[in-house]
Structure 1
Amino acid sequence: MSKCVFFVTCPKGVEYLLGDELRTFGLETVRNAPAGVWVEGELEAGYRACLWSRLANRVILNIAEVDAGNGDAMYEGVLGVDWTQHIPEKGSFRVTFLGQNQAIRNTQFGAQRVKDGIVDGFRAKGAARPAVDAKNPDVTISARLNRNRLSIGVDLSGHSLHMRGYRTDKGIAPLKENLAAALLMRSGWPEIAGQGGDFVDPMCGSGTLLIEAAMMALDIAPGRRQERFGFEKWPGHQPEVWLALRQEAERRAHEGKQGRIPRFAGFDQDSRVIATAWKNIERAGLDGVVHVEARAVQEFTVEGQWSERGLVLTNPPYGERLSERKELSGLYQALGDAVKQSVPGWRLGVFTGAPEFGKSVGLRSFKQYKLFNGKLPAQLLLFEVAEENAMTPREPDVPGEIRPRIANEERAAMLRNRLKKNMKTIGQWARKQGIGCYRLYDADMPEYALAIDIYEGRVHVQEYAAPKSVDERAARERLAEALAVIPDVLGIERSDLVCKQRQRQAGTQQYEKQAASGEFFTVHEHGCLLRVNLKDYLDTGLFLDHRPVRHWIQQNARGKRFLNLFCYTGAASVHAAVGGASRSLSLDMSKTYVNWARENLALNDADPKKHMVEQADCLAWLAEKPAADQRFDLIFMDPPTFSNSARMAGVLDIQRDHATLIQQAMARLTSDGLLIFSNNFRRFRLDEALEEEFAVEEVSRSTLDKDFQRNPRIHRCWHIRHKV
């Protein structure tokens, strides 16, 4: 057999562990890549990876690399591959496409060009065209774009290998099977099991860690119960080699149960997920091997003859709600107390998205591994359960829950005086203007890098992330001082203050949920009613710096057709409706914010037939040819600086893409209409060609009220019209 090149994908953070595993199958590492490993070896080793890999998602046999500087070059490269060797004549296939570059920004477009190249390749050889089957194809072709090169391969797995077939019922927030296997390997379970150790998961959920641990200890191939793999109808398939591997897997599964079988026990306080775990255990063929029952962590104990050495591995709740996070410290402490009492001499592994609670376990962690649970950063904390490792459980330092206290009275007095001064200037100005939501303080003093916003008696504090040159402990100390000073100066209860840390955001992180309090309340702005939420998202639902822009829209919207692109919670649309706009259309790709915008409009008695909100990718919507009735007199467009949301057709880079967006928006604007274009990218430069094509006027200075004049770069704004 000749050497083949494979790309084997895996969860992020598992690449090196996967490389070690693949070497045991006879595959040599070529290089690591994000969420995958390039390897080479015989086809048999690729088959073995499909059957035996506990960590992989997909095993892709690489067949070609082609130029992909643009769509046409990519098509020509795909056309040059002899596809009759990889797709059965009159068979079916599908294409999975990942990646983007400057020329190919849409994965659907990329996949279509690859499909065209494959189909036309068959026609060029005079062969019958294969069918495209997105659900159940004979062969899956994987196309992965990296810069200007496209890697093309046959997906030998055909499905994600993390799906072993035993878990059709899931618990709450289940671990994927291959991530569970990675945790077991990092925890040293193969070695502990080899030494006769046992396994317990005291918060087992649907039982994934237990099942993976048992399959590992009993030498059961994770792909043993799969009915079909992606290579079985591939023309290059070698059935004899595959049959031998299947027979070997059956033999090893039989032999794995001949020696001492470790004890496996799982507990969970939710009897419903225990019922799910039992079903999963039965489907995995492990009934009689793995035992689960409903029991709280506080009641955790092992009874009977258990090994002196073993592993306790668990994935506790992370605590999305603030109230839950306050309870987590007690949960982690209860876990630590239980293992110290019940299984001294064992190892404890805790996989958590809230690693700060590891201090509450009451043991010193000897190893920490950074991994991801889906997209969520998480850590695996390892502890040896021994008296010499015991420590007093400590309350964690949780962001947003810093205990208010003053360490330096002189420094705190400086902040107190500045806030009092701002209350006399900005506060009095806001009251005279009838403004209830405004910025009181914006990093006025370098010692306190905060933004403090007033929302009609409630306070929203954002801590700007300190530079690396500033000691983290000192930064937390100053934040604690601020949290002590602010309620005192402003005369509010501490429960009316919400604190968050503001960092540079990527993609749609600024819109992602931070908590789940559901605490909305209504504020007033120039006669409009708007719902805000200070806790659940990084932003509150109301961009205070755009208040003058919204007011201008309200004053100039009467009788006009208004379009709000990237509308967020629709505040500008509310101002347009209240200002007498004849109709409006608001677009955003987030279902959460589309619903929020509808609620804001309903709160102001806007007619939903005239003032519509739709969930849409603004990039794709603008790229479409406008219908005759899709013209607007007034358009507001305030796009994010950057977005690579999975819902979008492409990647948005405002500096790179703004000229196209503006030109497309202007195509929707009436001849005497106005486009208000704004963004908050601090290094933004408007394309000079736009000023030659349209009448452009920068109005940034006039769109900043008194509370934002200390920070004139918070946004920039232009009025753009068609030239007469």
Structure 2
Amino acid sequence: MTSPAYDEYEFFASCLAGFEQYLADELKRLRGRRIRPLHGGVAFFGTAAVAQRVCLWSRLASRVTLVVKRVNAGDASLLYEGIRRIPWHEVIAPGASIAVRAHGMNEELRNTHFTELKVKDGICDALRERTGSRPDVDSANADANIDVRIRDSRATVSLDLSGESLYARPYLEPDAGQDAPLECALSAGVLAMCEWDGMRDAAALVDPACGDGSLVVEAAAAACDMAPGLARSRWGFMGWAAFDEPAWERLLDEADERFEEGLEAVGGAGAANASASDRPDLERVRIVGATNSSPAIARARNRAKRAGLRQVVSIELGDAHTVADMAKRACDVAERLQSRRGADNGQDKLCTCLVASNMPAGDRIQSEARAQAEAAAFVKAAAAVPAGSVYAVAGGQGVRGRFGVDAADTLRFGRGRVETQVLLFMRPPAQFAQAVVPDANGGAEHKVEVFEESSQQFADRLRKVAKERRKWARREGVTCYRVYDADLPDYSAAIDVYTGAGQAVGNTYLHIAEYAPPRSIDPDKARRRFDDILTLAPVVLGVRPDHVFSKVRCHDKGGGQYRGAGKRNYVTHVDEAGCLLEVDLAGYLDTGLFLDHRDTRAMVRKMAAGKRFLNLFAYTGSATVQAAAGGAVETVTVDLSQTYLDWAERNMEQNRFTGRAHSFERGDVMNWITDCRRSPRRFDLIFVDPPTFSNSKSMGKRTWDVQRDHVELLVGVSRLLTKEGTAVFSCNLRSFKPDMEQLGKYGVALEDITAQTIPHDFERNPRIHKCYLVKRA
């Protein structure tokens, strides 16, 4: 390695699965040689300057590594000797700190940490023998990162030339989250799949669901010939002995010059020198992004600004009803540009547009309604652009069905949690039925594409009920209520409105639970109807689609169960009777607040003044909050789940109900009652709202069934009451029948007060719960 600037080395560029061939083509353009696509990356050869160029310019590679050597890893001694014999002074720059990361195992090397120690010792001993000193080891911030991959009895030893993943673009915010680099990578992959490099000189690009803006920023960066790594200051190759600093400076100068020229070509004269904080001239912008989320707009614009591209991209608030105009405007700009360039070249060119989006997929989808709204916006934009355009979407739940034509190509990028399907369409979308919806705020009516013509009836019914329900809610001071409960049998869902409070004041949320259709209903037809519900509900009620959360509720033995919960949590706060309560609209089976028990909690509040209050099966403690607000002198909250007890305690704390008078006790309620009966503790008011059925592991071998076990429960509860005490017992088993004979034998008196506890918004379904007053006879 006497002349590192001209030596040829072996490199490996890793990438997301599915990118390999596109990355190989990119490496050819970046002057790599002997290029060989492999699984999860591409092997290539080149000089140190070529590797530096790849690090700076590659849009598809995740990391670039120098293959140092392949050594025998049959056991620890063989690995150490193989490492020690490598001429590390020709690999690691003088004075550079090192770190070692090992991957993989074999029969002799079963612990990656032990492997790292042996490799580190081999490197340090080799350098000490050659130079007289050992390098510093810095596992967190090393200058030279050594990668060792064990496979069978061989180890491939590499030097990471990238440092941080190349997918972590410099325009990303420091707190962007772990999915942000993935979004950048997928966006770059979609653009490569669509051959945006060949279209970028004059074509328009429209992203109708741009989210945080990764795709439009990636597209603008490519159009402006901006190197993805131009703003990065730290690289792994700076700890490489063969680092070609003069070549690196020339690469940076060239990249700066190309970017300035690209900015002027895309944004017009003066764009390269314009302030990044200025709004773009929309009459000259042909790269457009739209999103229905105001916070997302702010993040997307900030990313464009951080990239220095704010002048050449337009990122606006838009949905399926406004994005078509944005698409047409961008195409007009592109057509004018193509006409001018075609005239200059003596050619007549036709406008081409790329409609592309990188939408969340799998467990990255938090709101299915937002996914449906984005799919609708994508199809609307696709229908608005000229013939000959290209349409591509990554993720995009619902796009295939809404597009109505077969995809020309389908690819999968990534593996496991990050696997995303990419659809490429070469024909415009088919026409679908439309539902006409008056604007919730008095604006122009909306024409919404739907799968089923009968969905117009659903929209009309929801609008009618919502009008009445809003008036009732304002009159009664109710902020969270049911607005639709399977009013039309074919559209069998429950829709609840949650009005934000505290820091969420001004926000409105929808929680939509679909009832599982009968087996006689075609599942595809039921799914299309539910998709129409998700599409129409936010339009009818004037709620942002990303504030709509949905679950599918299936009727099972013993009660209702949900599918669709367990996605990323969405925690916000609501108000009930002046109390602030925490709800999670996405992460759990239920939101944390049973709306059908609103009147029951109000009754508990009135009864609680001066009382010692006990809440059994307390869930998130909303009844405890109301009892404390009503003047209870003591509250005890009992639940088997620590998660819900912590939630209950937060609910109490944010309403300033703290101190020794309020305790939270974890335990199996039946066992807790038995233990409490042996103590002198007694209560004036008890609220009991058990689950219909439970087989929690925390209960051991025992299960809970409210019909089977209610006598034992209520006898125990009655024994914890003071002489004049009262318990409120509620359950949601629609077929529940109390065993009055057995309860009477044990001196327990029940009074059915169900009718008094069914709120107005649940009157369509009076069997939603049963409620009784319990006293000692």
Is contact 2:366–2:567 with CA below 8 Å preserved after alignment? no
Corresponding letter in the other structure for 1:378: T
Is contact 1:71–1:113 with CA below 8 Å preserved after alignment? yes
Corresponding letter in the other structure for 2:212: S
The number of residues matched between the two structures is 439
Corresponding letter in the other structure for 2:107: Q
1:101 counterpart = 2:106: yes
State the partner residue of 2:134.
Answer: 129
Corresponding letter in the other structure for 1:197: A
Instruction: Describe the shift of the 1:272–1:596 C-alpha distance in structure 2 as closer, same or farther (beyond 3 A).
Output: closer
Corresponding letter in the other structure for 2:221: M
Instruction: Describe the shift of the 1:61–1:286 C-alpha distance in structure 2 as closer, same or farther (beyond 3 A).
Output: same
Deviations along 1:387-445, whole A, 9 cap, x unmatched? 7x66788969xxxxxxxxxxxxxxxxxxxxxxxxxxxxxxxxxxxxxxxxxxxxxxxxx
1:228 deviates by 2.5
Instruction: Describe the shift of the 1:290–1:374 C-alpha distance in structure 2 as closer, same or farther (beyond 3 A).
Output: farther
Instruction: Describe the shift of the 1:595–1:100 C-alpha distance in structure 2 as closer, same or farther (beyond 3 A).
Output: farther
Is contact 1:321–1:517 with CA below 8 Å preserved after alignment? no
How far apart, CA to CA, are the structure 2 residues paired with 1:217 and 1:335?
22
1:164 deviates by 2.5
Is contact 2:223–2:266 with CA below 8 Å preserved after alignment? no
1:81 deviates by 1.0
State the partner residue of 2:223.
Answer: 217
Instruction: Describe the shift of the 1:13–1:537 C-alpha distance in structure 2 as closer, same or farther (beyond 3 A).
Output: farther
Residue 604 of structure 1: which of 647, 654, 668 is its match?
Answer: 668
Q: TM-score, normalised by structure 1?
A: 0.54
Identity %: 29
Corresponding letter in the other structure for 1:63: V
How far apart, CA to CA, are the structure 2 residues paired with 1:537 and 1:68?
48
State the partner residue of 1:381.
Answer: 423
1:224 deviates by 1.2
Q: Secondary structure at the match of 2:225?
A: coil
Deviations along 1:450-508, whole A, 9 cap, x unmatched? xxxxxxxxxxx9xxxxxxxxxxxxx999xx9xxxxxx9998777xx36689xxxxxxxx
State the partner residue of 1:333.
Answer: 376
How far apart, CA to CA, are the structure 2 residues paired with 1:223 and 1:368?
30
State the partner residue of 2:407.
Answer: 365
How far apart, CA to CA, are the structure 1 residues paired with 2:8 and 2:18?
27
Is contact 2:393–2:422 with CA below 8 Å preserved after alignment? yes
Is contact 1:265–1:292 with CA below 8 Å preserved after alignment? yes
Instruction: Describe the shift of the 1:338–1:257 C-alpha distance in structure 2 as closer, same or farther (beyond 3 A).
Output: closer
1:306 counterpart = 2:312: no
State the partner residue of 2:390.
Answer: 347
Corresponding letter in the other structure for 1:292: I
Q: Secondary structure at the match of 1:381?
A: strand
User: Which shifted more, 373-382 or 39-48?
Assistant: 373-382
1:325 deviates by 3.7
1:184 counterpart = 2:227: no
Deviations along 1:669-717, whole A, 9 cap, x unmatched? xxxxxxxxxxxxxxxxxxxxxxxxxxxxxxxxxxxxxxxxxxxxxxxxx
State the partner residue of 2:286.
Answer: 263
How far apart, CA to CA, are the structure 1 residues paired with 2:566 and 2:36?
36
Q: Secondary structure at the match of 1:276?
A: helix
State the partner residue of 2:296.
Answer: 273
Q: Secondary structure at the match of 1:259?
A: helix
How far apart, CA to CA, are the structure 2 residues paired with 1:248 and 1:256?
12
Q: Secondary structure at the match of 2:261?
A: helix
Q: Secondary structure at the match of 1:220?
A: coil
User: Which shifted more, 132-141 or 328-337?
Assistant: 328-337
Q: Secondary structure at the match of 1:285?
A: coil
Instruction: Describe the shift of the 1:537–1:69 C-alpha distance in structure 2 as closer, same or farther (beyond 3 A).
Output: farther
Instruction: Describe the shift of the 1:147–1:297 C-alpha distance in structure 2 as closer, same or farther (beyond 3 A).
Output: farther
Q: Secondary structure at the match of 1:125?
A: helix
Instruction: Describe the shift of the 1:179–1:162 C-alpha distance in structure 2 as closer, same or farther (beyond 3 A).
Output: same
Is contact 1:143–1:151 with CA below 8 Å preserved after alignment? yes
How far apart, CA to CA, are the structure 2 residues paired with 1:232 and 1:594?
50
How far apart, CA to CA, are the structure 1 residues paired with 2:223 and 2:451?
37
1:345 deviates by 4.3
Instruction: Describe the shift of the 1:98–1:31 C-alpha distance in structure 2 as closer, same or farther (beyond 3 A).
Output: farther
User: Which shifted more, 116-125 or 128-137?
Assistant: 116-125
Is contact 1:96–1:142 with CA below 8 Å preserved after alignment? yes
Instruction: Describe the shift of the 1:333–1:319 C-alpha distance in structure 2 as closer, same or farther (beyond 3 A).
Output: farther
Is contact 2:184–2:214 with CA below 8 Å preserved after alignment? yes
State the partner residue of 2:735.
Answer: none
Instruction: Describe the shift of the 1:337–1:287 C-alpha distance in structure 2 as closer, same or farther (beyond 3 A).
Output: closer
User: Which shifted more, 302-311 or 49-58?
Assistant: 302-311
Q: Secondary structure at the match of 2:310?
A: coil
How far apart, CA to CA, are the structure 2 residues paired with 1:41 and 1:204?
37
User: Which shifted more, 10-19 or 320-329?
Assistant: 320-329
Q: TM-score, normalised by structure 2?
A: 0.50
Instruction: Describe the shift of the 1:291–1:491 C-alpha distance in structure 2 as closer, same or farther (beyond 3 A).
Output: closer
How far apart, CA to CA, are the structure 1 residues paired with 2:554 and 2:190?
47
The structure that has the greater radius of gyration is 2
Corresponding letter in the other structure for 1:603: G
Corresponding letter in the other structure for 1:278: R
Corresponding letter in the other structure for 1:107: T
1:329 deviates by 4.3
Q: Secondary structure at the match of 2:376?
A: helix
1:201 deviates by 1.4
Instruction: Describe the shift of the 1:269–1:101 C-alpha distance in structure 2 as closer, same or farther (beyond 3 A).
Output: same
Instruction: Describe the shift of the 1:151–1:178 C-alpha distance in structure 2 as closer, same or farther (beyond 3 A).
Output: same
1:327 deviates by 6.8
State the partner residue of 1:416.
Answer: none
How far apart, CA to CA, are the structure 2 residues paired with 1:224 and 1:276?
21
User: Which shifted more, 85-94 or 280-289?
Assistant: 85-94
How far apart, CA to CA, are the structure 2 residues paired with 1:260 and 1:180?
20
Is contact 1:318–1:325 with CA below 8 Å preserved after alignment? no
Residue 15 of structure 2: which of 10, 16, 26 is its match?
Answer: 10
Deviations along 1:255-295, whole A, 9 cap, x unmatched? 32343556212121221121122221111111211121222
Deviations along 1:130-174, whole A, 9 cap, x unmatched? 101123322222222222211112222222111231111666854
Q: Secondary structure at the match of 1:257?
A: helix
Is contact 2:209–2:377 with CA below 8 Å preserved after alignment? no
Structure 1 residue runs of 5 or longer lacking an equivalent are: 397-460, 462-474, 481-486, 501-511, 519-534, 539-592, 608-724
Is contact 1:339–1:385 with CA below 8 Å preserved after alignment? no
1:192 deviates by 2.0
Q: Secondary structure at the match of 1:66?
A: strand
How far apart, CA to CA, are the structure 2 residues paired with 1:515 and 1:163?
22
Residue 62 of structure 2: which of 42, 57, 63 is its match?
Answer: 57
State the partner residue of 2:756.
Answer: none
How far apart, CA to CA, are the structure 2 residues paired with 1:127 and 1:52?
38
Q: Secondary structure at the match of 1:288?
A: helix
1:295 counterpart = 2:292: no
Deviations along 1:621-644, whole A, 9 cap, x unmatched? xxxxxxxxxxxxxxxxxxxxxxxx
Is contact 2:266–2:312 with CA below 8 Å preserved after alignment? no
Residue 163 of structure 1: which of 165, 168, 172 is its match?
Answer: 168
State the partner residue of 1:452.
Answer: none
Instruction: Describe the shift of the 1:594–1:97 C-alpha distance in structure 2 as closer, same or farther (beyond 3 A).
Output: farther
State the partner residue of 1:235.
Answer: 241
Instruction: Describe the shift of the 1:374–1:159 C-alpha distance in structure 2 as closer, same or farther (beyond 3 A).
Output: farther
How far apart, CA to CA, are the structure 2 residues paired with 1:594 and 1:61?
50
Residue 315 of structure 1: which of 347, 358, 369 is its match?
Answer: 358
Is contact 2:320–2:373 with CA below 8 Å preserved after alignment? no
Instruction: Describe the shift of the 1:186–1:489 C-alpha distance in structure 2 as closer, same or farther (beyond 3 A).
Output: closer
Structure 2 residue runs of 5 or longer lacking an equivalent are: 1-5, 268-284, 335-350, 434-448, 453-515, 517-521, 528-552, 572-585, 590-640, 648-664, 673-777
How far apart, CA to CA, are the structure 1 residues paired with 2:363 and 2:141?
38
State the partner residue of 2:207.
Answer: 201
Is contact 1:57–1:162 with CA below 8 Å preserved after alignment? yes
